[in-house]
Chains A and B, each alone.
Chain A
């Protein structure tokens, strides 16, 4: 590391060995924790690797058989469609609510804004395991405060309503939980974008007769488009990885496969059924979906970074 500077005149930094030495530790860590499993998984996805292989039988190459099996597997399609639907709906609602909250932050006075921001920071900071546990308690069948409050509305009978017992309401709870956890990030990011729009522009538009909706549509949305697209992409990617929430909610609710999303489905295939070939094939599909979405995000990020 102690490359000595030649003299008073500093040379422009040329390619030397130093940067490569500096990134070696990180690269090794990444190869060990991610690279090796990734390669193993890629190979295993094209093998028959089940219980017999656990006991020493060498895995057998089967080409695309695992993927072909998935194509005809009703349970897999149900899980895939459910996961994508859950992901898209949750991400869309999160972004819409987040943008509205950001607008609200922008519209109210300083003290009120601070109160709103502090309360959102607490929600954002909650560890996922703690947050999910609290939601299980909030939606508890017998003594949950949600059923108590809903039941107090005249004409509504929610006494002992079993939220986690039915797939639809189970995923509504999961979605509400994830929206609650994710909206703060969206609002803070969008709010930061909103503060960059100058008051003069908005006033000028108002004087020219632009209504609230027109100002939102024609000025605000185009100006916050970069942050909006990044935030939406991230939500889509993040809402595909909800293993923690679904696992904990299932612990409190039902073990049935009707409540599985991709993460818990892979876990089941791998650890319960010992079918590593199929688990790897599904994992590869998840990785491909994520990478396709991430590619767009990363391109935006690098573009923004270079524009800076």
Chain B
């Protein structure tokens, strides 16, 4: 009995240690962001900001000159991608979960396969396409690529929500004299709000975090998004003494909205990715 108890305690200790290891890089980012670079340059690291606490890294990173441009780019691209994806994916999800039609199965199959295509396998072709119509370094050019990359999974995710509202509910409303469209809009649509939020957040995360395609399609410094702005700090570090406090403040700024939104949708995303393999 005591051996079992001891085992349990040992496992709990191990779990806590692993929890600390896993959160450490995130903690270290925030910690370093609040310590001035002069202190970070000492050879002994400080595990708490303590007396060295400062906001100067954040003000320094933001007044870097290109921050607000990058923020504007990121926000514009993200809003555009979220809005377009939600509308298009919603229509597509209704089609595949509320209708039987020829080609439905192949459409779903194609969506799932397309979703797996790596950006690395296509970005040179996308670069040629976008540059040939003069849309390099523009919101539209990069958004067209993001939308195509994000739509398949948003349809797949929303499909689950639409299918979760029993068609009988709609049919009952139709018996009561509503048209099919009215029944859908009054009965099913309101029940889809959580699904739309989850899919919207998914699209937000994808567009906000995207780095690979952005590197290729937004080469100009004036057109960079926040992840590229962050890269600027890393690149600069190759040639001169890195201002790590500022770099970590920049990382924190990029990460915070993502962490907040991610925590909202995490559960839904796992079940979407692994499908019915896990019945949560």
Contacts and interface: CB of A to CB of B under 8 A. Distances in A.
Nearest to B171: A10
Contacts, number: 352
B264 to A, nearest CB: 10
A90 interface: no
Given A10-B174, A192-B270, A271-B216, A5 B45 contact: no
A119 B23 contact: yes
Size bracket of the B interface: 35 or more
A137 B245 CA distance: 10
A122 B171 contact: no
Nearest to A295: B113
B166 interface: no
Interface in B97-139: 98-102, 104, 107-109, 112-114, 116-129
Contacts of B275: 230, 300-301, 304-305
B13 to A, nearest CB: 9
Contact of B101 (A15, A131, A252): A15
Contacts of B12: 108-109, 112
Given A33-B149, A126-B255, A304-B275, A120 B22 contact: yes
B230 A226 contact: no
Interface centre among B100, B107, B275, by most chain A C-beta atoms within 10 angstroms, is: B275
Given A36-B129, A104-B15, A234 B277 contact: no
A300 B120 contact: no
Interface centre among A240, A283, A284, by most chain B C-beta atoms within 10 angstroms, is: A283
Interface centre among B23, B119, B120, B147, by most chain A C-beta atoms within 10 angstroms, is: B120
Contacts of A130: 29, 227, 230, 251-252, 254-255, 258
Interface of B: 8, 11-12, 14-16, 18-20, 22-23, 25-26, 28-29, 32, 40-45, 84, 87-89, 91-92, 94-96, 98-102, 104, 107-109, 112-114, 116-129, 144-149, 151-152, 155, 171, 174-175, 178-181, 183, 208-209, 211-212, 215-216, 226-227, 230-231, 233-235, 237-238, 242, 244, 247-248, 250-252, 254-255, 258-259, 262-263, 266, 270-271, 273-280
18 contacts: A4-B180, A18-B95, A19-B99, A26-B151, A127-B209, A129-B209, A130-B252, A130-B255, A134-B251, A138-B25, A138-B28, A193-B277, A227-B274, A230-B274, A263-B212, A291-B116, A294-B113, A300-B277
Interface of A: 1-5, 8, 10, 13-16, 18-20, 22-23, 25-26, 29-30, 32-34, 36-38, 40-41, 44, 101, 104-105, 107-109, 112-113, 115-116, 118-131, 133-138, 140, 142-143, 145, 148, 180, 183-185, 188-189, 192-193, 196, 226-227, 230-231, 234, 237, 240-241, 243-244, 247-248, 251-252, 262-263, 266-267, 269-271, 276, 279-280, 283-284, 286-287, 290-291, 293-295, 297-298, 300-302, 304-305, 307-308
